[in-house]
Amino acid sequence: MPMLSKYRDLRRAIRDDAIVPYFQPVVELSNRRLLGFEVLARWPESKRGFLGPADFIRQAEESGLIQSLTESLMCQACKVASTWPGSLRLSVNLSTSQLRNRLLARQLRSVVEGAGFSMDRITMEITESALLGDVGTARDVVRSLKDAGIRLAIDDFGTGYSSLNHLRALPFDILKVDASFVRSMTLRREDRKIVAAVVGLGHSLGLTTVAEGVEEQVQSEMLICLGCHVGQGWLYGKAVPAAEATEMVNAEPSRELPSYPSQDVALTVVSALEALPGERLAQLRAIYEGAPVGICFLDRQLRYVSLNQRLAEINNLPVEAHLGRTVAAVLPRVYEVIRFRLDAALKGEATAFEITMEGRSLLANYQPARDEVGEVVGVSVAVIDVTRRKQAEHALREVETQYLRAAGNSSQVAWTADPNGLILDVHPQWSLLTGLPQEEVLGNGWQQSLHPDDLPHVLSEWSRSIMTGSPLDVEYRIRCADGDWLWMHIRAAARKSEQGQVVRWYGTAEEMGREARGHPPVSSAQTGFAFSEQS
């Protein structure tokens, strides 16, 4: 019979397991973690040499051999995979005709379990076109597969007769975005929108989307941004024979230590999404990288579209762990505190605020980003970690309080001034001594009650100290509330930073003597202190 002889080689190949499963890795896009493999048929030693599915799947379908081919491949693949860690899954392709076989679920179960593998680690991939024709039977068969514990993927989504009815009516778990979309998405904005819509559709139906044909890093990054987190393609590996797949499994780093690839991903995402001309991209890149502040861009769903390394450090997570995920998912506790500010930013309100959490202080700035017609498309975020500055300020305040308290017990009145010489604080004893309100002295207020003859000298000394950081030592008269002149001896020393800059002036004012209204100065004559240059 000519038919028989036509398929004789194929039949024999299937019987002898000459057609073998090759394994293509399926990975988590953000960290390349291995999730499992798609099983792809190969006939390495046919009379015509190495053959791929295009050379024999159609004949297998025509001849009715496809079911035995699937069983043979699954049996071989399951035996290999039964030695792998339990979390790894296998995905197997089904042909249209197989969905007319009401015994399919039962037959597959006996193969899978016979090979020591488990049904709940199997995904069967079905193309959309398989669901045309006798939809009733196909539906029953698909349900029985599902009932047997198998997961179901709709393959090549978007290429065939995409019917949303299928997605709704059948119990799919996975939606595979066809490689043709992945290929074109980096080239055209429109294609990107289609992928975004497909991924969004998957999300809203509660399906996992898997991108096929990922060949370039930029595609992977863009997919993550669009919310697609699983993929396969040459970027992660071509289909390989069983032994190589096992090597891959064994080389997989432990799950506790996911390896994150490029640190620079966020920038590529910016370029990819906005398709910026090179020059502008270079500028953006420089701004992002050079910024001493953490920067990110959030879309309307508050997902990280891009962020710089600095922000990743502030958040204590790799760049990769942010991209495509929501603030709520990445930083659940922080999100509780900032959500209303983010919501305000999405409504068009810019905010700047300080957030203190877990011993850290951050200054954050949210800026709504608008598109050409003024609609808010996301939020641009800048964050500075001011924890160290806060700690330093706190320590400084403590010292000051102690200083003023301690100095207040002596005959000297303590005061502090900022690096520019503005009086910040003075001990209440000042008021007791002079009868002048404490507030009058603050800033440059002290100059008002100074004797006009003394003022020029004091100002020149004070400005010299402020400029050089050297100690101040001057005497002057001030007019008390009762009109008397009071001689004061003023001393001050600077507290300096590690870099030698003045951070505070600590001073004392000591009473030297009083002269009644209209009388010549007494104490200066007696002590000889007046207007003496500091030593």
- By the criterion CB under 6 A, which residues form the site for ligand C2E? 24, 40-41, 52-54, 57, 70, 73, 93-95, 125, 155-156, 179, 212-213, 215, 232-234, 239
The per-residue b/e assignment along 496-522, b for 16 or more CB within 10 angstroms, e otherwise, is eeeeeebebbbbbbebbbbbeeeeebe
Q: Taking CB within 5 to 8 Å according to partner kind, which of ligand C2E, Ca ion, none is near residue 233?
A: ligand C2E
Exposed (0-12), middle (13-18) or buried (19+): which is 217, by Cβ within 10 Å? Answer: middle
- Angstrom distances, CA of residue 323 to CA of 211, 258, 499: 17, 15, 39
Q: What phi and psi, each to the nearest 5 degrees, are found at residue 53?
A: -55, -35
**Residue with smaller CB distance to ligand C2E, 235 or 305:** 235
Minimal distance, residue 37 CB to Ca ion, in Å: 11
Minimal distance, residue 81 CB to Ca ion, in Å: 17
**Residue with smaller CB distance to ligand C2E, 125 or 461:** 125
**Residue with smaller CB distance to Ca ion, 128 or 212:** 212
Q: Taking CB within 5 to 8 Å according to partner kind, which of Ca ion, ligand C2E, none is near residue 24?
A: ligand C2E
Q: Taking CB within 5 to 8 Å according to partner kind, which of ligand C2E, Ca ion, none is near residue 228?
A: none
The alpha-carbon radius of gyration of the chain (Å, integer) is: 39
Q: Taking CB within 5 to 8 Å according to partner kind, which of Ca ion, ligand C2E, none is near residue 53?
A: ligand C2E
Nearest to 203 by CA among 179, 223, 233, 174: 174
Minimal distance, residue 241 CB to ligand C2E, in Å: 13
Minimal distance, residue 70 CB to ligand C2E, in Å: 6
Q: Taking CB within 5 to 8 Å according to partner kind, which of ligand C2E, Ca ion, none is near residue 78?
A: none
**Residue with smaller CB distance to Ca ion, 53 or 445:** 53
Q: State the Cα–Cα distance between residues 98 and 131, nearest whole angstrom.
A: 11
**Residue with smaller CB distance to Ca ion, 125 or 128:** 125
With beta carbons less than 8 A apart as the criterion, state whether 127 and 156 touch.
yes
With beta carbons less than 8 A apart as the criterion, state whether 28 and 229 touch.
yes
3-class DSSP state for residue 360? strand
**Residue with smaller CB distance to ligand C2E, 95 or 527:** 95
Q: Taking CB within 5 to 8 Å according to partner kind, which of Ca ion, ligand C2E, none is near residue 95?
A: ligand C2E
Minimal distance, residue 299 CB to Ca ion, in Å: 28
Minimal distance, residue 179 CB to Ca ion, in Å: 7
CB atoms within 10 A of CB 439: 10
CB atoms within 10 A of CB 372: 6
Residue nearest to Ca ion (CB): 125
Minimal distance, residue 55 CB to ligand C2E, in Å: 9
**Residue with smaller CB distance to ligand C2E, 24 or 315:** 24
**Residue with smaller CB distance to Ca ion, 24 or 67:** 24
Nearest to 378 by CA among 386, 388, 390, 370: 370
Q: Taking CB within 5 to 8 Å according to partner kind, which of ligand C2E, Ca ion, none is near residue 40?
A: ligand C2E
Q: Taking CB within 5 to 8 Å according to partner kind, which of ligand C2E, Ca ion, none is near residue 52?
A: ligand C2E
Minimal distance, residue 234 CB to ligand C2E, in Å: 4
Minimal distance, residue 127 CB to Ca ion, in Å: 7
With beta carbons less than 8 A apart as the criterion, state whether 361 and 385 touch.
yes
Q: Taking CB within 5 to 8 Å according to partner kind, which of Ca ion, ligand C2E, none is near residue 407?
A: none
Residues that bind Ca ion (CB under 5 A): 93, 125, 155-156, 212
Q: Taking CB within 5 to 8 Å according to partner kind, which of ligand C2E, Ca ion, none is near residue 34?
A: none
**Residue with smaller CB distance to ligand C2E, 11 or 390:** 11
With beta carbons less than 8 A apart as the criterion, state whether 175 and 207 touch.
yes
Q: Long-range contact list for 241-249, CB < 8 A, 24+ apart?
A: 241/20, 241/22, 241/23, 241/42, 242/20, 242/21, 242/23, 242/76, 242/77, 242/80, 244/23, 245/23, 245/25, 245/37, 245/80, 246/80, 246/83, 246/84, 248/25, 248/34, 249/34, 249/84, 249/85, 249/88
**Residue with smaller CB distance to ligand C2E, 126 or 314:** 126
Task: Read off the tokens for 493.
Answer: 């020393």
The bridge status of strand 208-211 relative to strand 174-177 is parallel
Minimal distance, residue 156 CB to Ca ion, in Å: 4
Minimal distance, residue 39 CB to ligand C2E, in Å: 6
**Residue with smaller CB distance to ligand C2E, 191 or 215:** 215
Q: Taking CB within 5 to 8 Å according to partner kind, which of Ca ion, ligand C2E, none is near residue 160?
A: none
Q: State the Cα–Cα distance between residues 310 and 528, nearest whole angstrom.
A: 61
Q: Which helix (H) or strand (E) holds 92?
A: strand 89-93
